[in-house]
Amino acid sequence: MNVRFSDRPARITFAIVAVALISLAAAPWWGGRDDLRLLAEIYAYVALASLWNLLAGYAGLVSVGQQAYVGLGAYLLFALTILLGVPPLIAVPLAGAIAALLSLPVAALIFRLRGHYFAIGTWIVAEVFRLLASQVSVLGGGSGTSLPVGIVTSIASSRQMREFLIYWIALALMVAILIAIVLLLRSRYGLALRAIRDNELAAQSNGVNVTRVKLIVYVITALGTAMVGALIFLQKLRISPDAAFSVNDWTAFVIFITVIGGIGRIEGPIVGTLVFFLLRQFLADLGTIYLIMLGLVAIVVMLKAPKGLWGLVVERFGFQLFPLERRVVLADRGAPPPA
Amino acid sequence: MWRAPSQRECCEIGDVRVLMTDWINVIVQGVLVGGLYAMFAAGLSLIFGVMRLVNIAHGDLIVLSAYVALVATQSLGLDPLTAMLIVVPLMAAIGYALQWYVLNRTLGDDLLPPLLVTFGLSVIIQNTLQELFTADPQKLQAGAIEVASLRVVEGINIGVLPLIQFALAVIVIAALQIIFYRTALGRAFRATADDSAVAQLMGLDNRHVFALAMALSLAVVAIAGVLLAVRANFDPTIGPARLIFGFEAVIIGGLGSLWGTLAGGILLGVAQAIGAKLDPGWQILAGHLAFLVVLAIRPQGLFPKVQG
């Protein structure tokens, strides 16, 4: 008898995922510019939603202010490249690292707020960041600025190569974030997180340092979110406080995606993002109506199927793409038990 | 919103008196705005106290009240203060229904459902208002009273309207205090807040009690919304900022204390007024910084009542 994560369906889906990833990596050869742009946007949302899912769904830190780190990462990218001359592709991870450092004092403040109040605290932090960003006159203040041509061409001289490169980085970043989350959740921190989610008091009395575990998740999320933010705005080439710290774009959509797909599951944000983009292809012209519909769907899902679409799949078929729970496997069912 | 004076009369050499009255005016303005923030906060604090629910759509419901008042004044030709007689009961009814049909289903040990559902509501209200009324700024006209002011001493004037708003805020908070501690309804609120299971055993219907609490909260929201609409321009997107101001006032004042929310609102209003006086871009930021400072050095707030 042994205990392990994977089972046969998971191994089959792993193979499917691998094939899918290889064909996505080859997208520059089979897709047009618009395809690449759309795919990169999808990767960004999968990454953002997965990170928010880690924060809210696993660590119970429900933030409605993750736009703080998207915007911070984006502004750090612009500041590092324009003011300090750091090469853009180095500035992306560097922006993540600086944001992670800055998230420590932020956490020291807002961790004083419990539960629901924590959520609004995160929002205030995002607002403070946005207002501060609009005071930075070297980056255009309230109206923002564009990335100078010299910096853009330093990524790669031809536009096509630049777009390919950014596309691959977006794909790699999403994959890296997903792998990091799976590994984190399979580690002892993952076990601690699930213990906290089930019963915080019981986890604490069993020796889990609840604050420490939550802090680790908060900082990791800030790191990932800021890198994604930096990459998104490296693609847009233009930044402004309202765009970089947008609640709708970086929090409302991300929350709806996660809730609709299934919160507290790795697969949820992926499924949610696919649904989100599918709906958007048909309904984007409706503008505000689209947002209203998304909000309604999210509320109905939260009330009627709180585990989301993927939760329904799991309940029906009992299978997971990325197994996190250990399963007991009887080594050889046919053979008699060892004497 | 309070605006910095267009001319900087304050900096003439030796003119200390003007400088001083200038600052006194700033502080007075801040205190009076604080009354409005206290009302934002009181509604928020009330429902958190009774059912541990933080309503993320709180600010958008304030803005919704402003639009209801706009429709009432324009279609019925009422003045804003009379329109309250329609807006307040209507919002209270909406609050009761919202709690009964939607929010009661979200309450439980899990923090996520109420947060996410009210967040969804916030987005829905905002975008519906945008769809119905466009993003253009609106304002309620209150007539001559808008510009009337009382001269306290030479150079210090207090607007009649801000004064009425502040007085209403004090009355609302006093009324909530009386309801909470002197009436059967308040007893039901406090009992349910302390232990909802036992309260239920004693014959209280929690769902009804929660719905009444939300109705009361939205009645306060309605008053605040009408006052906001008279004071300044509003558009569908300003709700979240009102939620944040109310929340900051709650935390500065101390969780669970109604009079604390008044103190918190005043402190926030004064901080914003001082920030705006220094640099118009710093108005909102100064309020946030005051909140963060309180959170850093006195996280329980100035006048705490319960540990949240």
Let me know if residue A334 belongs to a domain: no
B120 with A302: Cβ contact below 8 A: yes
Query: From the list A64, A114, A131, which residue is nearest B285 (CB)?
Result: A131
DSSP string, A128-193: HHHHHHTT-GGGTGGG-EE--HHHHHHH-SSHHHHHHHHHHHHHHHHHHHHHHHHHHHHSHHHHHH
Residues from chain B that touch A123, judged by Cβ atoms under 8 A, are 240, 244
B117 with A123: Cβ contact below 8 A: no
Question: B165-177 burial by CB neighbour count: b if 16+ within 10 A, else e?
Answer: bbebbeebbeebe
Query: From the list B48, B112, B285, which residue is nearest A128 (CB)?
Result: B285
Residues from chain B that touch A299, judged by Cβ atoms under 8 A, are 102, 116-117, 120-121, 124
Cβ atoms B176, B46 nearer than 8 A: yes
Residue-level length of chain B: 308
Let me know if residue A145 belongs to a domain: yes
SS3 A328: strand
Residues from chain B that touch A114, judged by Cβ atoms under 8 A, are 308
CA–CA dist B146, B125 (Å, integer): 29
CA dihedral of residues B258, B261, B263, B267 (deg, nearest 10): 180
Here the tokens at position B154 are 């030479």
Domain boundaries, chain B: 32-237
A294 with B123: Cβ contact below 8 A: yes
B240 with A123: Cβ contact below 8 A: yes
Helix (H) or strand (E) holding A329: strand A327-329
DSSP string, A197-245: HH-HHHHHHTT--HHHHHHHHHHHHHHHHHHHHHHHHHHH-EE-HHHHT
Q: How many angstroms away from the CA of A169 is the closest CA of chain B?
A: 32
Is the Cβ of B160 closer than 8 Å to some Cβ of chain A?
no
CATH number of the CATH domain containing A117: 1.10.3470
Let me know if residue A54 belongs to a domain: yes
Which of B115, B129, B261 best tests the A interface by mutation, with the highest count of A CBs <10 A?
Answer: B115
DSSP string, B115-174: HHHHHHHHHHHHHHHHHHH-S--B----GGGGT-EEEEETTEEEEHHHHHHHHHHHHHHH
Is the pLDDT score of B172 beyond 50?
yes
Task: Kindly give the residue spans of alpha helices, DSSP state H, lying in A32-139.
Answer: 33-52, 67-78, 84, 88-110, 115-133
SS3 B203: coil
Here the tokens at position A86 are 């750091």
pTM of the model: 0.87
Here the tokens at position B40 are 């934002």
Choice among A114-123, B78-87, B212-221 with the minimum mean pLDDT: A114-123
Let me know if residue A335 belongs to a domain: no
Tell me the per-residue pLDDT of B123-170, one tens digit each, with 9 for 90 and over: 999 999 999 999 899 988 887 777 788 887 777 788 888 899 999 999
CA–CA dist A8, A208 (Å, integer): 33
Helix (H) or strand (E) holding A2: strand A2-4
- In DSSP terms, B159 is beta-bridged to B149
Q: How many angstroms away from the CA of A204 is the closest CA of chain B?
A: 17
Low-confidence ranges of chain A (pLDDT < 70): 1-10, 318-339
Cβ atoms B38, B245 nearer than 8 A: no
Tally Cβ neighbours within 10 Å of residue A328.
Answer: 8
Q: How many angstroms away from the CA of B79 is the closest CA of chain A?
A: 31
B117 with A127: Cβ contact below 8 A: no
Cβ atoms B230, B149 nearer than 8 A: no
CA–CA dist A45, A28 (Å, integer): 20
User: What's the complex ipTM?
Assistant: 0.84
Cβ atoms B270, B283 nearer than 8 A: no
By C-alpha distance, which of B25, B100, B113, B209 is closest to A263? B113
Expressed in angstroms, the distance from the first to the final Cα of chain A is 14
Here the tokens at position A280 are 């958007």
Q: How many angstroms away from the CA of A178 is the closest CA of chain B?
A: 23
B131 with A131: Cβ contact below 8 A: no
pLDDT (0 to 100) of residue A208 = 86
CA dihedral of residues B257, B260, B261, B267 (deg, nearest 10): -160
Percent of all residues in chain B with a pLDDT value above 70, rounded to a whole number: 94
Here the tokens at position B32 are 């009076």
By C-alpha distance, which of A121, A10, A307 is closest to B288? A121
Number of domains in chain A: 1
Let me know if residue A339 belongs to a domain: no
Residues from chain B that touch A124, judged by Cβ atoms under 8 A, are 244, 247-248, 288, 291-292
Query: Which range marks the domain in which residue A130 is found?
Result: 2-329
Cβ atoms A167, A109 nearer than 8 A: no
The sign of the torsion formed by the CA atoms of B69, B71, B76, B79 equals: positive
Let me know if residue A319 belongs to a domain: yes
Query: From the list A119, A124, A134, which residue is nearest B54 (CB)?
Result: A119
By C-alpha distance, which of B34, B54, B57 is closest to B46? B54
A60 with B111: Cβ contact below 8 A: yes
Q: Which amino acid is at B69?
A: A
Is the Cβ of B54 closer than 8 Å to some Cβ of chain A?
yes
Let me know if residue A337 belongs to a domain: no
pLDDT (0 to 100) of residue A323 = 65
A113 with B248: Cβ contact below 8 A: no
Cβ atoms B56, B115 nearer than 8 A: yes
The interface residues of chain B toward chain A in range 268-287, judged by CB-CB distance below 8 A, are: 281, 284-285
Residues from chain A that touch B116, judged by Cβ atoms under 8 A, are 62, 255, 259, 298-299, 302
Contacts of B1 (CB under 8 A, 6+ apart): B232, B276, B283
CA–CA dist A190, B244 (Å, integer): 33
Radius of gyration of the CA atoms of chain B, in A: 20
Tell me the per-residue pLDDT of B15-55, one tens digit each, with 9 for 90 and over: 677 778 888 889 999 999 999 999 999 999 899 888 888 89
Which of A104, A201, A246, A288 best tests the B interface by mutation, with the highest count of B CBs <10 A?
Answer: A288
Residues from chain B that touch A62, judged by Cβ atoms under 8 A, are 111-112, 115-116
Percent of all residues in chain B with a pLDDT value above 90, rounded to a whole number: 56
Cβ atoms B42, B172 nearer than 8 A: yes
By C-alpha distance, which of B7, B165, B185, B244 is closest to A119? B244
SS3 A327: strand
Contacts of A338 (CB under 8 A, 6+ apart): none
Residues from chain A that touch B285, judged by Cβ atoms under 8 A, are 128, 131-132, 135
CA–CA dist A211, A204 (Å, integer): 9
Which of B119, B122, B132, B306 best tests the A interface by mutation, with the highest count of A CBs <10 A?
Answer: B119
Residues from chain B that touch A291, judged by Cβ atoms under 8 A, are 123-124, 127
CA–CA dist B56, B98 (Å, integer): 13
Tell me the per-residue pLDDT of B244-296, one tens digit each, with 9 for 90 and over: 999 999 989 887 788 889 999 999 999 999 999 998 889 999 999 999 999 88
